[in-house]
Amino acid sequence: MTSTFLGMPATAPRGVGHLRGDQPFPAAARRSLADPQLRRNLRHATTTIRAKSAAVIAEAPDWQQLRDAGAAIKADVMSRLPELLEQLEAAVTRAGGTVHWAADAVEANRIVTELVAGTGSDRVIKVKSMATQEIGLNEALEAAGITPVETDLAELIVQLGDDRPSHILVPAIHRNRAEIREIFLRAMPGVDPALTDDPAALAAAARRYLRQTFLHTPVAISGANFAVAETGTLAVVESEGNGRMCLTLPDTLITVMGIEKVVPTWRDLEVFLQLLPRASTGERMNPYTSMWTGVTPGDGPQQVHLVLLDNGRSAVLADEVGRQVLHCIRCSACLNVCPVYERTGGHAYGSVYPGPIGAVLSPQLTGVADNASLPYASSLCGACFDACPVMINIPELLVHLRAEHVTDRRRPTAESIAMAAAAYTMDHPALYAAAQRAARLGKVVGRRGRGLPPPLSGWTVSRDLPQPPPQTFREWWAEL
Ligand code: SF4
């Protein structure tokens, strides 16, 4: 069903999906920082991926030209997104697929649940997909009596551990192999009780369990890394081959894709298929790149559906500065170089999108008020901008969103109240002179070194309160 909305595009609705955390970033980060095992796991994983990625990027003499091309293609896509999406819809339909338009998470969950229920299956296999995590599809399926089984190894670890993903590419980055063994022993059906924490043994246990599931489940749900408008081709890149199994074995394949993932031509893929593996996993090419165009009679899924998801993206597109976040190809390079992410991990960001990209994507999808602490979850060091293969200026976006937050008059903050009070005081000379005298008095009565009182105390937690001079300019002038 196609829905048409007039007026300003809506942000992602509340109460569904995983774009909002339970607590603001500083409180959640404090909890993560107190976990030394988590910090060790993160440091080891991000350092390893960073080094691998840097080595293969150094081998590519045209890396900067590829980045320029990737950024230019994405800017072109955003400038004519409606036209490209209609072209994609026509091409997928021509090839025997069915396209569904979902304005938000609620609509997307309803569409997918009805499609699965229509097949009569009470179980689906899933390829790792950020879009389905964003909308909370697993919860919606479970509520309808349908069991979703994640088939990506890291996603499976997260699902069996009743946990949340903490990295875009390596969702179980916060777990070490001893913890994974414990999860498998506790929650994986039919696991050998003598299982060790040897990585090969853990992978073999997951493979045994998943193979049976692949062979006996008639419906699969995937995301898509790219969709080619000119041919209606969808593409998924992955490292384990589980995606290939999901995309070819079942009778019905349902793909949920954010509307920003479309590219104009097949040729544009060549740029992204070079950028993505080097920036993400530090490989020269993806181990498995699966592409499919509608239905091929007698070969692969015979029912192919594409759900085009908005869920706040049109609202992001309406912001001339903010829309560059839609260029993201989810490589996770910005996470791996971020000093804040490396210390706090992904859960502190609350949203399914962690790290620098999460700090600018989630507040835009939900509206800044609902994720107000995230644009401040950065030192603005710029490492994310340097690492991004499509050159998204994340520091610029962070500052843009901070400005939007503090100027949001509907929700005054301590900072905006303080600034308004300062502006009023400076506008009234007598009041300003009195404030200067009061500041000196504050120094005399011993506030030196103790910071500001609440509610402004947060400002001086990590800053020294400037000391007022012994004599003001006005007093000095009057003495002349
Ligand atoms: S913002 Fe750039 S570096 Fe970060 S995940 Fe997206 S494409 Fe990768």
Surface-to-core class of residue 96, CB atoms within 10 Å of its CB (0-12 exposed, 13-18 middle, 19+ buried):
middle
pTM equals 0.86
**Measured in angstroms, how far is the CA atom of residue 319 from the centroid of ligand 1?**
19
Is 2 a residue whose pLDDT tops 80? no
Q: How far apart are CA 237 and CA 129, in angstroms?
A: 11
For residue 453, the model assigns a pLDDT of 74
Q: What atom of ligand 1 comes closest to residue 329's alpha carbon?
A: 7
Supply the DSSP symbol for 455. T
If you measure from the C-alpha of residue 167 to the centroid of ligand 1, how many angstroms do you get, rounded to a whole number?
Answer: 12
In this predicted structure, what is the pLDDT of residue 459?
A: 73
120-166 pLDDT, tens digit per residue, is 999 999 998 999 999 999 999 999 999 999 999 999 999 999 988 88
* 345-371 tens-digit pLDDT: 999 999 999 999 999 999 999 999 999
Measured in angstroms, how far is the CA atom of residue 325 from the centroid of ligand 1? 9
Judged against a pLDDT cut of 60, whether residue 249 lies above it is answered with yes
Q: Is the pLDDT of residue 439 over 70?
A: yes
Structure tokens at 453: 């009182």
Q: Flag the least confident range among 92-96, 292-296, 457-461.
A: 457-461
Q: What is the mean pLDDT of residues 431-443?
A: 79
CA of 279 to the centre of ligand 1 (A): 9
Please report which helix (H) or strand (E) contains residue 433, including its range.
helix 429-444
Mutate to test the pocket of ligand 1, among 392, 393, 394, 397 (most ligand atoms within 8 A of CB): 392
Give the nearest ligand 1 atom to 356 CA.
4
**Ligand 1 mean position to 81 CA, how many Å?**
20
- Give tens-digit pLDDT for 308-318: 999 999 999 99
Residue nearest atom 4 in ligand 1 by C-alpha distance: 334
- Structure confidence by residue, pLDDT tens digits, 325-335: 999 999 999 99
Average pLDDT value over all residues in the chain = 92
Mean pLDDT for the stretch of residues 182-186: 96
Q: Predicted confidence band at 413 (pLDDT cuts at 50, 70, 90)? A: low
Contact 219, 112 (CB under 8 A): no
Asked whether residue 1 carries a pLDDT value surpassing 50, the answer given is no
- From the CB of 329, is ligand 1 less than 6 Å away? yes
Torsion, Cα of 270, 318, 358, 259 (10° steps)? -40
- Of all protein residues, the one whose alpha carbon is nearest to atom 8 of ligand 1 is 331
Q: Counting Cβ atoms within 10 Å, is residue 33 exposed (0-12), middle (13-18) or buried (19+)?
A: middle
**pLDDT of 96 above 60:** yes
Which SS3 state, helix, strand or coil, does residue 249 take? Answer: coil
Ligand 1 atom at shortest distance from the alpha carbon of 335: 4
Please tell me which residue, 437 or 328, carries the higher pLDDT value. 328
pLDDT at residue 303 tops 50 = yes
Q: What is d(CA 242, CA 205) in angstroms, rounded to the nearest whole number?
A: 14
CA 225 to chain CA centroid, nearest Å: 14
Give me 23's structure tokens. 């607590």
Q: Is 333 in the pocket of ligand 1 (CB under 6 A)?
A: yes
Predicted local distance difference test score (pLDDT) of residue 230:
97
Mean pLDDT, residues 380-386 taken together: 97
Question: Which numbered atom of ligand 1 lies nearest the CA of 360?
Answer: 1
Mean pLDDT along residues 222-231: 98
Neighbours of 356 (CB within 10 A): 31
Distance CA 401, CA 147 (A): 38
- Cα of 393 vs centre of ligand 1, distance in Å, is 10
Q: Is 169 in the pocket of ligand 1 (CB under 6 A)?
A: no
Residue-wise pLDDT tens digits, 170-179:
888 888 899 9
